[in-house]
């Protein structure tokens, strides 16, 4: 049956226009509105807003805390990318290639943190890190490493590294499933051929598995970067509120503090613009670094 | 086919353009547009009220916003029900809850605030509201308000209203005060002395440390202002009186690096160095620190009067709350408290100011002051309320009330207004660092002075 042009256009409009309008209202409008408010001195709690031009941006560049929040964010990005990718690749390979009988069970166990809210995860790990009652310190005491115990989240040096573990723990499941999907699409004949040629399991992993699941790995890494730069706020806000003494503030939590605790909404919006720009630049750079020819055997 | 695609993309382009036009049209004026539409909506529903309000009759719609926290809401329910009975023509809308400040924010932003607001809890800031011109100037009105016995309300407060350039924008309703809590039963059992000043505080803490093997002092590191308001304000008051307190809170030049402030911070440094402060405090939120205190992981904690009410469900049966003014003062000096007031205010843009004023006037009576203490375990900011005659008022409060009224024992110091969060946040951050032992008292006062300088320049 041949559709008339009109019908086709109507159908396309039916699909696209509502979506685009929703996108415009809920994504583009807040985006531009944030940009707009970054030029104002506004408490965010009243209707008084004073146009101040680039004052907020000048302040951004002279704010001592900003560089450390950026560093904290990228610290989390780097540790999470390595932590999550190494562990989830390892688990994905183990669960698909090693023919473990309980694979479905592990798949559920590893995915479990993903269906929990980040807030719940944060609270759970606060108990785990609790200096007197927590699992970490009691575990260390149990195995005789008492000198290693410390108030993890309460220490200026250890609080930020302590946030990595829950973030990685919470992230593994999803990416493990993505990679497992990629691996199960690889034809068994490649491995058989490699085996006949005398390739070890290790070589098979590097020469067959990894190149063939590269698209999935690439997407996973980008996804981790984006969600960390935009979303590390939640775990920081729940677990440390940016403290002690700003040692765990990420850009998002600092934005929150400025906009909603210190009533500098305009400056908060400026930090939001910075997050947007940094995220875009980072993703573009990563896209460039991770470009590879698509491999087909 | 090609033609068809061209047409489709033209369609898309149009959609995109249309959406952008919409955006450009919306963005700059968004705030004001919302205000207008919402404003008119509300006006129409309460038009009658504002008219009748001017003629002196109290009727129409009255919107009351109040935060519900450690004090609960039973007192509010009682007062509002009584007010309703007294003024049956008023239809009252309550906006209440633990997150009410966040929930009502959009109403304040769009210039459509409730009529009466009780300012307390997270997300509220009296100073910010005054700076933004959201509260009605009550200076003149207050001079005409009398209590039921004919005395002027303005003269009957325990602590006078906060003044901003001499003007009054809010009336202090709740007289709360921070102090240091301990478990009376536990102290008696172990024959520990209740501290009276800083040296005896350190002695008792050493004793407890020795007997129990715990770090005796705890506070919340996630909300460092508990320590700032609970321990440091009284210490500053004792060391330099209202004047020093005023300078420190307003960030006056040289206040934070002054000798008395440095001496106080030296005491904090000493507490840290001698291992009196729980080394895990940095990560604790207020509930966790209070739980640790109830579990006898620690022996002292600075909180306000609301602590027993807030932790009522978790308090062990043999636990007996004891309250002392935070013992940070030198030997031989009277203890100091700095009241923390939670005010009631009327919105500058209230739609029914007559009913709002009637409600505020209605609330400030000795009868409600007494019932406030019974309901909440705190004190309402009115003089001459007989708490001891009520059986429902907790014993710590009666003791504290007596202590507060005895100038030999306790000096009351008043802060001009709450510290702006713009200044409180950076100072709190440095404070945590000091209490973790990462910086010295000298470094702390330098950082605080720096923060005060930035705060002053932000006001210009």
Q: What's the whole-number mean pLDDT along residues B153-170?
A: 88
Q: Average of pLDDT values for B265-289?
A: 93
pLDDT at residue B39 greater than cutoff 50: no
Query: What structural domains does chain A harbor?
Result: 60-289 (1.10.3720.10)
B32 — pLDDT class (breaks 50, 70, 90): very low
Cα A290 to Cα A186, A286, A293, distances in angstroms: 21, 6, 10
Burial of B145 (0-12, 13-18, 19+ CB in 10 A): middle
Mutate: best of A262, A267, A268, partner B, most B CBs <10 A: A262
Of A90-94, B54-58, B68-72, B360-364, least confident by mean pLDDT is B54-58
Question: Are B35 and A48 an interchain contact pair (Cβ–Cβ within 8 Å)?
Answer: no
For residue B108, name the pLDDT band (cuts at 50, 70, 90). very high
From B108's Cα to the closest Cα of chain A, the distance in A is 6
Test B282 with A243 for CB contact under 8 angstroms: yes
Q: What is the pLDDT of residue A11?
A: 92
pLDDT in tens, A139-168: 999 998 888 888 899 888 999 999 999 999
Mean pLDDT computed over A245-265: 91
Question: What is the per-residue pLDDT for B258?
Answer: 96
Mean pLDDT of A55-64: 92
Residue A83's pLDDT is what? 96
Under an 8 A CB cutoff, do B283 and A17 touch?
no
User: Which domains does chain B carry?
Assistant: 57-175+341-397 (3.40.190.10), 176-339+401-459 (3.40.190.10)
d(CA B357, CA B271): 48
Strand partners, B63: B93
For a pLDDT cut of 90, what percent of chain B falls above it? 57
- Please tell me which of the candidates B109, B223, B282 has its beta carbon nearest to residue A46: B109
* Confidence band, pLDDT 50/70/90 cuts, at residue B46: very low
pLDDT for B64: 96
Long-range contacts: B2-7, Cβ < 8 Å, 24+? B4/A5, B4/A8, B7/A5, B7/A9
- The whole-angstrom separation of Cα B21 and Cα B39 is 26
Give the pLDDT confidence score for residue B11 in this predicted structure.
54
| pLDDT tens digits, B50-87 | 333 344 578 899 999 999 988 889 999 999 999 999 99
Pairing label, strands B116-118, B321-324:
unpaired
Q: Which residues of B touch A28 (CB under 8 A)?
A: 19, 23
Could you report the per-residue pLDDT of B284-332, keeping only the tens digit for each?
A: 889 889 999 999 999 999 999 889 888 988 999 999 999 999 999 999 8
Residue-by-residue DSSP string for B346-405: EBTT-S-HHHHHHHHHHH-SHHHHHHHHHHHSSEES-TT---TT-SSS-HHHHHHHHHHT
Inform me whether the C-beta atom of residue B292 falls under 8 Å from chain A C-beta atoms.
Answer: yes
Q: What is the mean pLDDT of residues A216-222?
A: 92
CB neighbour list of residue B459: distance below 8 Å, 6 or more residues apart: none
pLDDT for res B10: 53
- Closest CB to A243: pick one of B132, B133, B221: B221
Q: What is the Cα–Cα distance from A210 to A188, expressed in whole angstroms? A: 14
Residue B346 scores a pLDDT above 90: yes
Question: Does residue A214 surpass a pLDDT of 50?
Answer: yes
Write down the pTM of the prediction: 0.81
Q: Report how far residue B333's alpha carbon sits from residue B325's, in angstroms, rounded to the nearest whole number.
A: 12
Q: What average pLDDT does this structure show over B22-44?
A: 36
Nearest CB among B4, B132, B425 relative to A48 is that of B132
Query: What is the biggest distance separating any 2 CA atoms in chain A, rounded to whole angstroms?
Result: 78
> pLDDT (tens digit, 9 = 90+) per residue, B436-448?
999 999 999 999 9
Contact (Cβ atoms closer than 8 angstroms) between residue A57 and residue A270: yes
CA distances from B50 to B46, B90, B95, B286, B350 (A): 7, 12, 20, 43, 9
pLDDT tens, B383-397? 878 777 777 788 778
Taking the Cβ of residue B21 and every Cβ of chain A, the question of whether any pair is shorter than 8 Å is answered with: no
Asked if the Cβ–Cβ distance from A45 to B134 is below 8 Å, we say yes
Residue A174 has pLDDT above 80, yes or no: yes
- B9-47 core/surface letters (b: 16 or more CB in 10 A; e: else): eebeeebeeebeeebeeebeeebeebeeeeeeebeeebe
Residue numbers in A near B281 (CB within 8 A): 151, 154
Question: Which residues on chain A are in Cβ contact (under 8 Å) with B432?
Answer: 243-245
Q: For a pLDDT cut of 70, what percent of chain B falls above it?
A: 88
Task: Please write the tens of the pLDDT for every residue from A183-193.
Answer: 988 888 998 99
φ and ψ at A198, to 5 degrees? 90, 20
Compute the mean pLDDT over every residue in chain B, rounded to the nearest whole number: 85
3-state secondary structure of B173: strand
Q: Count other C-beta atoms under 10 Å from residue A39's C-beta.
A: 20
Q: Identify which has the larger pLDDT, B29 or B352.
A: B352
For β-strands B171-183 and B301-304, DSSP reports them as antiparallel
Q: How are beta strands A40-42 and B379-380 bridged, if at all?
A: unpaired
What letters, b where the CB count within 10 A reaches 16 and e where it falls short, cover B203-220? ebbebbbeebebbbbbbb
Confidence band, pLDDT 50/70/90 cuts, at residue B127: confident
Average pLDDT over every residue of A31-37:
92
**Residue A217 and residue A175: Cα distance in Å, rounded?**
8
Cβ under 8 Å to A: B residues 415-434: 421-422, 425, 429-430, 432-433
- Alpha-carbon gap: B319 to the closest alpha carbon of chain A (Å): 21
Instruction: List B residues 128-157 in contact with A (Cβ-Cβ < 8 A).
Output: 128-129, 131-134
The 3-state DSSP class for residue A16 equals helix
Using a CB–CB cutoff of 8 Å, tell me whether B214 touches chain A. Answer: no
Lowest mean pLDDT among A87-96, A219-228, B45-54, B63-72: B45-54
Q: CB-based contact (8 Å) between B1 and chain A?
A: no
pLDDT tens-place string over residues A126-139: 999 988 788 999 99
């Amino acid at each position: 049956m041949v559709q008339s042009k009109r019908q086709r256009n109507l159908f396309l409009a039916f699909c696209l226009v509502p979506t685009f309008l929703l996108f415009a209202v809920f994504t583009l409008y807040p985006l531009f509105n944030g940009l707009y408010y970054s030029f104002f001195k506004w408490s965010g709690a009243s209707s008084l807003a004073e146009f101040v031009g680039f004052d907020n941006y000048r302040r951004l560049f002279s704010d001592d805390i900003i560089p450390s929040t950026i560093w904290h964010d990228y610290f989390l990005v780097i540790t999470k990318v390595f932590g999550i990718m190494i562990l989830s690749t390892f688990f994905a390979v183990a669960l698909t290639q090693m023919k473990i009988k309980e694979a479905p069970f592990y798949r559920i166990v590893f995915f479990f943190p993903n269906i929990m809210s980040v807030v719940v995860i944060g609270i759970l790990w606060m108990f785990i890190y609790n200096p007197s009652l927590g699992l970490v310190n009691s575990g260390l005491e149990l195995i005789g490493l008492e000198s290693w115990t410390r108030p993890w989240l309460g220490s200026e040096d250890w609080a930020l590294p302590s946030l990595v573990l829950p973030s990685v723990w919470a992230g593994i499941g999803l990416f493990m499933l993505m990679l497992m999907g990629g691996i199960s699409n690889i034809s068994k004949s490649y491995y058989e051929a490699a085996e006949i040629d005398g390739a070890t399991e290790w070589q098979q992993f590097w020469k067959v598995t990894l190149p063939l699941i590269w698209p999935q790995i690439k997407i996973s890494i980008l996804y981790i970067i984006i969600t960390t730069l935009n979303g590390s706020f939640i775990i920081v806000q729940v677990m440390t509120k940016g403290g002690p003494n700003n040692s765990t503030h990420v850009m998002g939590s600092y934005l929150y503090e400025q906009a909603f605790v210190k009533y500098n909404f305009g400056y908060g919006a400026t930090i939001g613009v910075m997050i947007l720009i940094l995220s875009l630049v980072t993703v573009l750079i990563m896209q460039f670094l991770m470009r590879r020819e698509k491999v087909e055997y | 086919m090609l033609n068809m695609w061209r047409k489709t993309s033209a369609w898309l382009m149009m959609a995109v353009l249309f959406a952008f036009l919409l955006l450009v049209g919306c963005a700059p004026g968004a705030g004001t547009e919302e205000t207008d539409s919402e404003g008119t909506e509300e006006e129409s529903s309460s038009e009658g009220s504002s008219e009748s309000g001017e003629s002196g009759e109290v009727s129409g719609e009255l919107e009351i916003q109040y935060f519900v926290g450690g004090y609960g809401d039973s007192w509010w329910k009682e007062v509002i029900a009584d007010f309703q009975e007294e003024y049956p023509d008023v239809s009252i809308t309550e906006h209440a809850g633990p997150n009410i400040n966040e929930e009502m924010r959009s109403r304040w932003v769009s210039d459509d605030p409730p009529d009466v607001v009780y300012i307390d809890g997270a997300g509220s800031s009296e100073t910010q509201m005054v700076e933004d011109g959201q509260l009605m100037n009550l200076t003149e009105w207050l001079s005409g308000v009398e209590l039921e016995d004919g005395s002027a309300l303005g003269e009957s407060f325990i602590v006078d209203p906060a003044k901003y350039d001499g003007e009054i924008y809010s009336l202090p309703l709740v007289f709360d005060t921070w102090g240091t809590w301990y478990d009376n039963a536990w102290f008696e059992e172990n024959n520990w002395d209740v501290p009276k000043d800083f040296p005896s505080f350190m002695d008792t803490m050493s004793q407890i440390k020795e007997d129990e093997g715990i770090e005796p002092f705890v506070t919340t590191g996630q909300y460092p202002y508990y320590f700032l308001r609970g321990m440091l304000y009284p210490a500053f008051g004792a060391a330099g009186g209202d004047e020093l307190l005023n300078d420190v809170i307003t960030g006056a030049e040289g206040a934070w690096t002054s000798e008395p402030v440095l001496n106080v911070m030296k005491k904090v440094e000493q507490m840290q160095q001698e291992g009196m402060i729980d080394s895990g405090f940095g990560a604790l939120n207020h509930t966790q620190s209070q739980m640790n205190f109830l579990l006898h992981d620690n022996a002292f904690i600075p909180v306000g009067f609301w602590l027993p009410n807030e932790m009522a469900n978790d308090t062990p049966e043999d636990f007996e709350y004891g309250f002392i003014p935070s013992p940070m003062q030198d030997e031989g000096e009277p203890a100091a408290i700095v009241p923390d007031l939670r005010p009631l205010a009327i919105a500058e843009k209230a739609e029914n100011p007559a009913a709002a004023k009637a409600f505020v006037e209605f609330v400030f009576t000795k009868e409600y002051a007494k019932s406030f203490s019974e309901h909440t375990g705190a004190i309402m900011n009115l003089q001459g309320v007989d708490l001891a005659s009520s059986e429902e008022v907790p014993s710590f409060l009666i003791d504290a009330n007596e202590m507060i009224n005895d100038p030999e024992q306790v000096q009351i110091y008043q802060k001009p207004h709450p510290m702006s969060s713009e200044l409180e946040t950076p100072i709190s951050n440095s404070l945590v660092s000091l209490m973790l032992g990462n910086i010295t008292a000298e470094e702390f006062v330098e950082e605080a002075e720096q923060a005060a300088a930035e705060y002053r320049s932000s006001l210009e």
